[in-house]
């Protein structure tokens, strides 16, 4: 895996970079594992509910098997593919019973590799097993929060967590944020780190590439008039104010805690995530 930085031939190419991966297949996606994906452009009932969304290239959703409930059935990776809906790569797996499924690819996974999901699967990159059967200190991803729900967290490109302790009923997981969290030791997790760890090094290079990705322009509040935003107005360039930064609708922003004090999952968190300065 390498990052290609383009020559400065044009303004749009200046500083643009992409991840060049030799092992990612260029074949068309598996037709039976595609689903239609409509465009809402950040709207609900025709009104904007999420700003700065709209446009973008047409995409079809890849049906990814996060549950991986074909227990004990070995599968062989047919191809590693890019998914326009996520930054991590996905792997097309051909199972021994003839079924094909997409799964989340881990770092180092290659075509031809054998993978398996089982309660006590071998500790090998790409295999999926119950947390209680994974050795302490192992790097994991695509973790279930509740047994039977399928992988819900640690799915983004390059993300991974560490299994720090296992008890009779629970296991302690050190999350990418530094948070230490309890999960049931009956939950399944994939061994390894999610693929495409270099995705955060990509530089889009030009505004047009953001538009291809369904991202519309964002205007700073301090560049608006007072009627349009609480940060707007003032003579010349004005700061947003250190005491009372606000959203466009007058609600506190930038550091305001939004987590509910009585959230059900508080009891599962042993140590809160490290606050970034």
Give the pLDDT score at 114. 92
- Average pLDDT for residues 6-31, to the nearest whole number? 88
Q: Does some domain include residue 125? A: yes
- Average pLDDT for residues 194-206, to the nearest whole number? 89
Domain that holds residue 12: 2-199
Give the pLDDT score at 127. 92
Q: Is 268 helix (H, G, I), strand (E, B) or coil?
A: helix
Model confidence at 26, pLDDT cuts 50, 70, 90, reads confident
Q: Does some domain include residue 218? A: no
Q: Is 47 helix (H, G, I), strand (E, B) or coil?
A: strand
Q: Does some domain include residue 185? A: yes
Model confidence at 152, pLDDT cuts 50, 70, 90, reads very high
Model confidence at 277, pLDDT cuts 50, 70, 90, reads low
Q: DSSP states of 130-172 as a string?
A: EGGGSPTT-EEESB-SSTTS---BS-STT--EEEEEE-SSEEE
Tell me what the pLDDT averaged over the chain comes to. Answer: 89
What CATH number corresponds to the domain at position 97? 2.40.50.140
Query: pLDDT tens-digit profile of 206-226?
Result: 999 999 999 999 999 889 998
Q: How many helices (H) and strands (E) does the chain have?
A: 1, 17
pLDDT at 251 over 70: yes
Q: What percent of the chain has pLDDT over 90?
A: 52
Query: pLDDT tens-digit profile of 39-86?
Result: 878 899 989 999 999 888 999 999 999 999 888 899 999 999 999 999
Give the pLDDT score at 208. 92
Q: Does some domain include residue 210? A: no
Give the pLDDT score at 39. 81
Query: Count of domains in the chain?
Result: 1
Give the pLDDT score at 248. 92
- Average pLDDT for residues 2-6, to the nearest whole number? 85
Which residues make beta-bridge pairs with 181? 173, 269
Q: Does some domain include residue 266? A: no
CA trace torsion 160, 164, 167, 169 (10° rounding): -20
pLDDT at 188 over 90: yes
Q: Does some domain include residue 252? A: no
pLDDT at 276 over 70: no
Model confidence at 198, pLDDT cuts 50, 70, 90, reads confident
Which residues make beta-bridge pairs with 65? none
pTM (predicted TM-score): 0.85
Ranges 121-125, 196-200, 216-220, 269-273, most confident? 216-220
Q: Does some domain include residue 77? A: yes
Give the pLDDT score at 3. 85
Residue 193 to residues 122, 159, 221, 222, 236: CA-CA distances in angstroms?
A: 16, 6, 38, 40, 48
Give the pLDDT score at 1. 63
């Amino acid at each position: 895996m390498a990052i290609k930085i383009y020559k400065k031939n044009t303004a749009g190419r200046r500083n643009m970079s992409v991840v060049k991966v030799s092992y990612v297949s260029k074949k068309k996606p598996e037709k039976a594992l595609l689903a239609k994906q409509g465009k809402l452009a950040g709207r609900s009932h025709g009104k904007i509910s999420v700003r700065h969304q709209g446009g973008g290239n047409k995409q079809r959703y890849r049906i990814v098997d996060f549950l991986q409930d074909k227990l004990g059935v070995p599968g062989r990776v047919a191809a590693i593919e890019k998914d326009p809906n996520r930054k991590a790569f996905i792997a097309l797996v051909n199972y021994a019973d003839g079924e094909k499924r997409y799964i989340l690819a881990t770092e180092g996974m290659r075509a031809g590799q054998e993978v398996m999901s089982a309660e006590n699967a071998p500790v090998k990159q790409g295999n999926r097993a119950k947390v209680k059967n994974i050795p302490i200190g192992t790097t994991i991803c695509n973790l279930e929060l509740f047994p039977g729900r399928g992988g819900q967290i640690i799915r983004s490109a390059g993300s991974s967590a560490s299994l720090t302790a296992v008890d009779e009923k629970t296991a302690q997981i050190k999350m990418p944020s530094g948070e230490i969290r309890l999960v049931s030791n009956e939950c399944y997790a994939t061994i390894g780190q999610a693929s495409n760890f270099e995705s955060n090094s990509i530089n889009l290079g030009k505004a047009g590439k953001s538009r291809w990705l369904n991202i519309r322009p964002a205007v700073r509040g301090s560049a608006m008039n007072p009627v349009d935003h609480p940060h707007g107005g003032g003579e010349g360039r004005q700061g947003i104010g250190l005491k009372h930064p606000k959203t466009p609708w007058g609600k506190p922003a930038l550091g305001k805690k939004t987590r509910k004090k009585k959230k059900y999952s508080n009891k599962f968190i042993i140590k809160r995530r490290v606050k970034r300065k």
